Structure 1
């Protein structure tokens, strides 16, 4: 009320002062019209300015601005000329920009005619001073009134609440948990009534607490000892209570569970986490999930199956208190269910399997009948009573039984009565059949020879049921006549020289070993004859390989007609032949040698209109007179052949040790032993020389070269030119070839970063049809890609035995290896051989490279080789590149690859090998 009174006083005072201000403004308006009308009409601006200044000083006017009827300012006081005049107020409102004046305007009239307008600001300071003074007096009065009211209320309150202290202390005791407090009632007023009410409330609370304690004990008795795992989760997803069963089920204590975040979702197995999280969120939003099963990870890491029931919890006012989660461990039931599901699935699969089995049995029977009908082997099945149950068409064909004849149900003994075959040895066949029938076991393969020369194999298999009872017998017949003929032909090809039909080097070695063994066993004698054709290389180079082949065939035929059935004539390779004479005396060997030399010299040989005369040089070595070992016998026969050549050729000689003291003969024999010891003592070494791409200078591959460590001085290496010729003569070159191949492939297997390797193979290897298989086998054993191995063959060796070389190269190509024809250009009609020798690379002989920049003919020849090779899709390699000038010319001629001392020298520790090693 005081506030209303003060506010109303201020309002009335303000209204009074505003009315006074309005009256004064009206008075001033009359004054301004009377004083300013005439000077303004007369345009006496000096008088006007003087008047405005006087009025402004004396009448409490803040500013005055006089405008004529055109709006131009003609006089002013207290106002800057450039400022915009405020909008005049018609209700005496204080200027919002400044609250110390009223902005007014009055038209200046004279005799009813308006001459201008006066804008002025009337000071409102007196109004503010009055309001401030009145407000100060009102606030002082209000402060005194409030103070007196506070003193009066404090005294009254103390009087009214003097008995509440006891009640306050009792309330504090109740708040501390003492519900046994009883207060005395000292008055009958409101305080006394409040005291009685407090005593009643305290008694009620004691009863409620006792009941709550009893209910809590019952709750814990039920919740703590229930079999299931009970939890209470607040609306934010935080666990706030869990019974002790959680530790029995999961291994985590209730306290550990409440400290976890996102419990129990964080314990769910990954496979069920997404579904459980979705169900958990739905439950927190008021939904319910019944019998939701998932897998839970326990504290020990094990996985169990649980079933959960989410149930929302609401307070007395239906406010959401969270959810109750009831969980049970159902691992045992789940395992039983899964076992039951598996069992049902097994039953379904078994049922489906039986159905499919019946179907597949029918299909299998149809396939079996079709298979047996399409087989080339004859099938005959007889039951335990020897009655025919089944036979296929092949059986009828093999035994030449008419297709119209029905054998089913007939006795097995009567079957062959319908056959058109005639057995060569029926007694043996009958004995075999009887023994097989009596044994009730699998019989051995038995060959039945027919009178027409056919060979049929027979096998017998007893047939038993699931319980092992004998229910019949299966007879299998196969006509192997063609296979036997093919096998015999393969054996013939493996042991024979493809050009002459004579035994090859491999069969010669076998027969030589057999001859020596038989001679030792029976203490008999033998002889070995070695011979080759004189000047054969000249004939081959001059007239071509066709002439040479024809000459070799003719010689083989003539000499073959002179040997006896127990004597073995072999072609060792090229123009070299060997003849083994078991049980031969020296006289018999010499007689045959004379006949061979004479027969060859008398062969009339004419080729393309030219007569050619052949001669031979032959050497004889007797066993055991001249040697007791195979290698030694071969070496002495070879030495005797050279003794015949030294005597003028077209002659024969028996081995004479006294003539074998020349350096060449001694070297030939000693080198054989040295090569043998090199293998025994591991004295062979590999060296490598790089082969580079001509255009880029990058390494293409490495050529493998063999060296031998000197027995006397291990720091010195023996170059291959010293021992390879003797190895070729003695046949040890084959062992060297295989050693180099194996060691090279073994080296390649150590790292895929090692460059490809090129290995030289001797011409003697053409007589070894198993060498390509050996290469493929080594590549497989060491798991090396075949494209990383290059095999180089000399052209001269290849064209001396073109058919063997062609077959050998094709076998190498089948293994996947690259093939290179070395020393290309040295043979006669080299280009013509390329259509037969399918080599990938041609290595131009160094003879054409050494002086290439200065030899015009060699340049033309090399260019021709490059052009032909490129046209046939082959690469070219130039060896013996020993200066930059030669290298530059080879680039211009288009050679693909180069090697030589200018680029790289052979060495055992080649940088490319070391860089590629792991």
Structure 2
């Protein structure tokens, strides 16, 4: 307990400490005088002075009244002094937000008042600290963003910019904030009207997103950004400024450009093959299927052979469900769960065990599935950063089913004539070379028939190329029905055709030639209400009578064909012995 309180706490407002002490001394002197009078009155009473009873009563009353009044004034001034100090402390707390320590001098009422104020202020202080921490968090978050973040006032002046501005453009925050028109500082000149239009529309309350603009660095290099601009509102809902954000998309632009160049190169390659594909939309779609990007499944297992990562493509490829259900499984459990999808699950399991045991790069392995898919697998060890024991193995699965089908179809298109669907000159040269080698090895004959159409040019001139195409298609179809299974029909180009006959005799060749000539001569064509006919001139050659290589055999058959034309067409001629 404080025994000697500070005298200053008793000083009422408006009095100096000296005047307050003087006043207290006057009260004390007056009290002493009254006490002396009371003592005098008591002495008189003791001497039984007559006539002084009334005076005694008056003196005692005045003394009691003075003592009570003095005590009341002292107590009132003390209470008022404490109250004024408490009021001053509260006013200071309102101004500064800080509650100064209060000394109640053991007055419980003021202790309770101080505790009540602290109960009111503690939640506010905690809320202020929380808000300050939250503001600091968002400030740090905004400043750490990799893109550009800017805040503009309603006058168009820049109010705030994140440090990413200097990282991306080379301009410091101070330089941007000091610029009269920051747009001219870092926006490419041709895109400045676009940005100003975005800001004007944002001031009208419109939010714009994914607008691509070019940003110019301090070194005058330019890169593309995806930008968004939207208004900021105050508590009243009024527009108080604009926020502008930009993300660097130059790598994506470069990738798009490279992709476009690749597609352009592929289209140029496609143009070279148009004579194989013709005008069929289906064929063009099949060729474009080669440009599709195949999905790849990725599975990573650690050195304990537990799955630590798998992408959803891999889960879908092997019907494993959601990724979360696979994480943590052992690789042999995954193999067991997917065994029913593979045609030879045991062989693949042995392959996996062999690859893991060898601790080497896994060669490509094609997995044939029961549903007809072919999945190509390849694996690789993942080395540790310190060069020690590998941390695991990554398995990559690629569904190559469509790629294989497309490759087979492309091979077919490269060997087939798109108009008649017969084998083309390329396949003819391959087959005649292969069959010649086989016939020489076995000591057998190989026959060749060449023929072209008589009067085909007149059909094109009279009825157009579309009519000529129909003639070629029908003749190809009809002749294909005449030849036998071991005889191959080719379209070499234009109206020229060839037939390869394995192990022929002279009679066999002449009979076939006669059937083909008669079949074509019997065909009638009608275009625009007019009927027309075409015939063929046919030349026959055979090894080894007319040569031992493909060039000699083709030359002999060609000469025989022109001999048939000279003899009146619609007939055949046998090449002479070379």
TM-score (normalised: structure 2): 0.46
Instruction: Please say which structure displays the higher CA radius of gyration.
Output: 1
What TM-score do you get using the length of structure 1 for normalisation? 0.30
